[in-house]
């Protein structure tokens, strides 16, 4: 700019001044315009919460949530309830559940509505039950939902074998677009070394029909556990059908580090504990391998662990709760590729246990705490959908 001032002092050199202005100032203004446009674009693309509303804070360790018609909600409470909540936040704890073992990580956990819920009022719940020896395991029940109760409660699946530990039940449930029911089952901690074998349900995701029978296109129909869809999981805590990808997506807890997001494929092996991006809680090495032939790689993984829980699509992008860091994580996606990630709702200081998205784009989350909250969340940007992914 000093050069320009010097040149401008001579009228004879005005032509040179104009030339330099064209060479320097015009490109500079273009750069500034592009930078301004980029900042505006980033502001639009970066997720931003514009409002939150607590619908209720009277839940006891809520775990799963489903959206009902008429702005109502169905929520599981881990100590032993399925609770109906209306738009005003009024709670009705439903009667009719079978006996539940609510110890350590066990209790009433995953929840899904039947694909034909509008006409049959059927729901599916995954809870922890015990045998006569006190061993526990994940069990899935089908039931008819009434105003204040559950009726026709029928067991359609029980994971085997049961175990004495109170950890890693999995117990997320979700339907695909063919009305097949997927159930996540953890390695129960004590069954880590059995996740690679086909005679049990430890560390598996299973696929069944609504009557509980194995899906006829499962890969291991001749095994002792024909319900198995995929193997080699540790403790899947998020399960979601991705319509554009035409696949079930799952995320699971690693040990110390190594939480994973996976796209599930029938018959696939996701590697636990043969490969892992985590280590044991005491610092010991579980495996020195993060990849091996025939074992699937995650879409993304988290080190350190975020303890993901619950999962839902927001348009083309992904919402994942974080128990450890107490936020809702917004994962920008390009098809199945995870891009930048943004932490939302940190000010709530709540362990986000589950998340769902309504048709009007309102996000609902539940916080896992003795006075658990159901919270409605609005983002500044509407979700984008691109079904070509």
Q: Could you give the CA distance from residue 385 to residue 389 in angstroms, rounded to a whole number?
A: 9
Using the predicted structure, report yes or no on whether residue 307 has a pLDDT greater than 70: yes
pLDDT given for residue 31 in this prediction: 37
Give me the torsion for CA of 322, 286, 297, 206, rounded to 10°.
-70
Contact by Cβ (8 Å): 251, 262 = yes
Percent of the chain whose predicted confidence (pLDDT) is above 70: 88
Nearest to 60 by CA among 83, 77, 85: 77
Q: Could you give the CA distance from residue 372 to residue 350 in angstroms, rounded to a whole number?
A: 9
Active site members? 168
pLDDT given for residue 311 in this prediction: 98
Q: Could you give the CA distance from residue 230 to residue 94 in angstroms, rounded to a whole number?
A: 34
Using the predicted structure, report yes or no on whether residue 37 has a pLDDT greater than 90: no
Distinct helix (H) and strand (E) counts, the chain: 4, 24
Partners of 84 in the β-ladder: 74, 92
Enumerate residues 6+ apart whose C-beta is below 8 A from 108.
Answer: 63, 76, 77, 78, 79, 80, 81, 82, 97, 100, 102, 125, 127
Q: Could you give the CA distance from residue 365 to residue 347 in angstroms, rounded to a whole number?
A: 14
Cα angle value 364/230/387 (rounded, 5°):
50
Look at strands 247-252 and 236-242 and give their pairing.
antiparallel
**Hey, how many other C-beta atoms are within 10 angstroms of the C-beta on 2?**
6
CA distances from 317 to 40, 203, 323, 338 (A): 20, 27, 20, 9
Confidence of residue 386 (pLDDT cuts 50, 70, 90): low
Please tell me whether residue 51 adopts helix, strand or coil conformation: strand
Give me the torsion for CA of 29, 30, 34, 37, rounded to 10°.
60
This prediction has a pTM of: 0.88
Nearest to 384 by CA among 67, 47, 66: 47
Nearest to 176 by CA among 211, 198, 222, 207: 207
> What is the end-to-end Cα distance of the chain in Å, rounded?
49
Nearest to 245 by CA among 388, 384, 360: 388
Bond from prior residue into 304 cis (ω within 30 degrees of 0) = yes
Confidence of residue 370 (pLDDT cuts 50, 70, 90): very high
Which CATH number among 2.60.40.10, 1.10.1040.10, 3.40.1280.10, 2.120.10.30 corresponds to the domain 50-379? Answer: 2.120.10.30
**Hey, how many other C-beta atoms are within 10 angstroms of the C-beta on 140?**
23
CA distances from 139 to 123, 151, 156, 163, 378 (A): 14, 17, 8, 13, 35
Phi, psi of 55 (to 5 degrees): -80, -40
Q: Which residue has the higher pLDDT, 384 or 147?
A: 147
The residue extents of the domains of the chain are 1-45, 50-379
Confidence of residue 12 (pLDDT cuts 50, 70, 90): very low
pLDDT given for residue 30 in this prediction: 39
* Mean pLDDT along residues 42-71: 90
Please tell me whether residue 229 adopts helix, strand or coil conformation: strand
Q: Could you give the CA distance from residue 259 to residue 277 in angstroms, rounded to a whole number?
A: 8
Q: Could you give the CA distance from residue 185 to residue 202 in angstroms, rounded to a whole number?
A: 6
* Mean pLDDT along residues 171-180: 98
pLDDT for 286-297, tens place per residue?
Answer: 999 999 999 999
């Amino acid at each position: 700019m000093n050069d320009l001032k010097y040149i401008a002092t001579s009228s004879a050199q005005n032509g040179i001044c104009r030339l330099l202005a064209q060479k320097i100032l015009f490109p500079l203004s273009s750069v500034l315009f592009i930078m301004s446009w980029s900042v505006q674009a980033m502001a639009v693309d970066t997720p931003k919460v514009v409002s939150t509303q607590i619908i209720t804070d009277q839940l006891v360790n809520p775990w799963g949530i489903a959206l009902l018609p008429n702005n109502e909600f169905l929520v599981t409470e881990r100590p032993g309830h399925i609770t109906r909540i209306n738009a005003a936040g009024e709670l009705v704890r439903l009667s009719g559940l079978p006996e539940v073992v609510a110890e350590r990580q066990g209790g009433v956990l995953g929840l899904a509505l039947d694909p034909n819920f509008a006409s049959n009022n059927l729901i599916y719940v995954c809870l922890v039950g015990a045998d006569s020896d006190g061993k526990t395991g994940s069990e899935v029940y089908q039931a008819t939902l009434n105003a204040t109760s559950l009726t026709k409660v029928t067991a359609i699946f029980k994971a085997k074998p049961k175990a004495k530990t109170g950890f890693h039940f999995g117990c997320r449930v979700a339907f695909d677009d063919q009305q097949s029911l997927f159930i996540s089952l953890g390695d129960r901690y004590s069954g880590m070394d059995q996740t690679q074998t086909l005679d049990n349900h430890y560390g598996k995701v299973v696929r069944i029909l609504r009557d509980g029978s194995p899906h006829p296109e499962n890969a291991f129909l001749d095994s002792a556990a024909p319900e198995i869809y995929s193997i080699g999981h540790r403790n899947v805590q998020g399960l979601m059908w991705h319509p554009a990808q035409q696949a079930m997506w799952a995320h699971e807890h690693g040990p110390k580090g190594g939480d994973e997001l996976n796209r599930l494929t029938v018959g696939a092996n996701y590697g636990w504990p043969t490969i892992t991006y985590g280590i044991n809680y005491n610092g010991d090495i579980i495996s020195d391998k993060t990849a091996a032939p025939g074992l699937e790689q995650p879409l993304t993984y988290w080190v350190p662990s975020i303890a993901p829980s619950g999962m839902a699509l927001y348009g083309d992008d992904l919402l994942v709760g974080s128990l450890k860091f107490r936020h809702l994580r917004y994962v920008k996606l390009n098809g199945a590729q995870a891009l930048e990630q943004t932490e939302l709702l940190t000010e709530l200081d709540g362990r986000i246990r589950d998340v769902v998205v309504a048709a009007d784009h309102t996000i609902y989350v539940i916080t896992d705490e003795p006075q658990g909250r159901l919270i409605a969340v609005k983002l500044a940007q509407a979700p984008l959908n691109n079904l070509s992914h």
